[in-house]
Chains A and B, each alone.
Chain A
Amino acid sequence: MGCERFEFLISGLLDGELDATEEQSLKEHLLLCDKCRRKHQELLRLKEVTDSVRFKDLSGEVWAGYWNNIYRRIERGLGWILLSVGAVILISFGLYESLSQFFADPEISLWVKIGVSALGLGFIILLVSIIRERIFAYRRDRYREVQR
């Protein structure tokens, strides 16, 4: 076994993650290899340094409000969804009613009705096309959880 494999095992030894056989073979190697023994000492010192500090904790008050903040965000998300669904339903209904009256009105010329129909149809085609493209991209996006 070359030194490289033993070097990796040094990390395992420091963390107490080696099995008995690995630990025994590494310890035997350390007795024979100055280079690895020096690395072991250096990494041991590094571990002492990292073990001597820890992340500063937040205040108890912040931790106490942590879940409430998350709950509020989830609740607001639901609120926005309902608001959007409601708006879509109402706008669609309003458009339907307006267009029904518009097309039923005999005083409006046929050309204006054809123009409005073409405009509406064009808008719908474009909208469907964009939505389809978005869905296509979303299904293939491996990083969709990532906020860009």
Chain B
Amino acid sequence: MSEVSSRTDEELALKAKGGEMRAFEVLVERYKRHAYFIAYGFVGDREAALDLSQEAFVRTYKAIHRYKPDFRFFTWFYKILSNLCISHLEKRRVRKRYEVSLEEAPFELATSKLDPAAVYEQKELTKKLWEAITNLRPDFKEIIILRHFRDFSYKEISEILQIPIGSVMSRLYYARMKLKEKLKDLI
């Protein structure tokens, strides 16, 4: 088991392509959190994010015969996941049920504070931050989630979104400026 776990994503994907289910399971274990939180960032709904992230893995497995090791596994998986999330949002919009709950932000404080006043203030901030992120343009929202909430490096974001590193930097700048504008009362 540990031998499989120590393999690179691409080696695991090739093994999964050869029918080794255990290799695919290791990939799922490696990326399930990224998948879930990215989907959450896209759709803002816990249950839908869980379902979409799992469905993305199922589709990835079904399409594994088309996988080529020239691409990073996660880049390939991300494409399937983001397409699924966009379709989900489109369906919600079409059904005129596009309502992301702003009552309950999906964030929690990164550090525990004992001062109740500070906690209350932070909770309000958390709610407003989520509201602001939700209302960003999809490509801005996407890059904010990848950088701020999943800690991907510029190089990794560049590979995932298939854009040059310079574009990652400029898109992040514009996304942050827009976010700052939406939070102007707080910042």
Contact = CB atoms under 8 A, between A and B. Distances in A.
Contacts of B50: 58, 62
Which of the listed residues B32, B109, B148, B149 has the most CB atoms from chain A within 10 Å of its own CB?
A: B148
Interface of B: 21, 25, 28-29, 32-33, 36-37, 40-41, 46, 50, 54-55, 57-59, 61-63, 79-80, 83-84, 86-88, 106-111, 122, 125-126, 129, 144, 147-149, 153-154, 166, 169-170, 172-173, 176-177, 179-180, 183, 186-187
Given A49-B129, A49-B187, A62-B50, A17 B153 contact: yes
A67 B173 contact: no
Contacts of A73: 54-55, 58
B86 A46 contact: no
Contacts of A147: 55, 84, 87-88
Contacts of A111: none
A45 B176 CA distance: 11
A117 to B, nearest CB: 39
A55 B37 contact: yes
Contacts of B54: 66, 69-70, 73
B59 A70 contact: no
Interface stretch (A5-13, A95-103, A120-128, A129-137): A5-13
Interface in A65-98: 66-67, 69-71, 73-74, 77
Contact of B108 (A15, A53, A67, A77): A53
Chain A interface mostly: helix
B187 A46 contact: yes
A27 B174 CA distance: 20
A139 B125 CA distance: 48
A17 to B, nearest CB: 5
B99 to A, nearest CB: 19
Contacts of A58: 36, 46, 50
Given A39-B177, A53-B129, A74-B61, 16 more contacts: A15-B172, A42-B187, A49-B183, A49-B186, A50-B144, A50-B148, A52-B110, A53-B107, A54-B108, A55-B41, A55-B106, A56-B106, A62-B50, A70-B57, A74-B62, A147-B88
B58 A67 contact: no
Given A8-B169, A73-B55, A147-B84, A55 B149 contact: yes
Given A46-B187, A54-B149, A145-B63, A15 B154 contact: yes
B118 to A, nearest CB: 11
Contact of B110 (A11, A47, A51): A51
Interface in A19-33: none
A7 B172 CA distance: 11
A56 B41 CA distance: 11
A120 to B, nearest CB: 34
Contacts of B59: 145
Nearest to B32: A66
Contacts of B28: 66-67, 70
